[in-house]
A and B are shown apart, each in its own frame.
Chain A
Amino acid sequence: MTTRLDVNGRTLEVSSAEDTPLLYVLRDELGLNGAKYGCGLGQCGACTVLVGDQAVFSCATPLSMVAGKKVTTLEGLGTLDHPGRMQRAFIEEQAAQCGFCIPGMIMRAEALLRDNPHPGAKQIREALHPNLCRCGTHMRILRAVARAAKA
């Protein structure tokens, strides 16, 4: 049995079992490695993608829950040659150290700006609360989101 998915604007048929976490489908079946496996419990945010315009933990979201819905991953925001506004802001602020959390941070921040194009500093902090960074580039991440909001 296959499931129809809309990923980054393309309609795809995937063959993973319905209870497979979306993250595994993205990485293992579709080769979209932007979203990362961190905790597997929806607690660290490294796996964050968009469903519609909302940030979700793809590791805790089964395929059955997103069938037919619009999924956007890091790859859907831009390319190496043409990074999207949020990706550009993260590059310009050099917000990554090890970089593992960054795709999730970018997707969470993207969801914030889609909901609120001009967030204040406090709103940015609150919105990013579900995502963890273990290296400590938090201040640069916050600056990057603020920069993207001004872009």
Chain B
Amino acid sequence: MRIRPRGDTKIVEGDLTPMIDMTFQLIAFFMLVINFSEVEQDQRVQLPASELAQPPRAPYEHPFTIHLTRTDRYIFGGRELSELSQLKSALLKETQIIKRYTAKKLADVTIIIRADKNAKTGQVQEVIQTCQELQFEKFALRGKQSDVPTLGGP
């Protein structure tokens, strides 16, 4: 009977370090890339800055985003509209969809208004008024966060 020498057995050990490294890389990547709020951004709109603008804590349940450009045009649902009446009819379609197919109330729908900093305030009011006529109640005026005070003063 032959006895195998003990020192001959080798422990096969896979090097786990690079795999763990890559896994952490991937975790870090996806953590940073994931975006809960699905911000709708548009290059045609430059938002006004405010130090108090806070990102929403929880995503809105049923948001509609209306953009208002500096050239007095509305962007809704990816379409650029020039007249308020067009915006109204587009919104009306959406309200009918909500009423018919969901149990939500129109008062719970949030209208996000992304107006350009040089857009006319009156036009923003018109948009709000139009939405009010369609029974929407919740509005979110969107601004760009600012690290510096925007009001001036000492």
A and B associate: no
Which chain B residues have a beta carbon within 8 Å of chain A's beta carbons? none
> Which A residues are within 8 Å of any B CB, using their own CB?
none
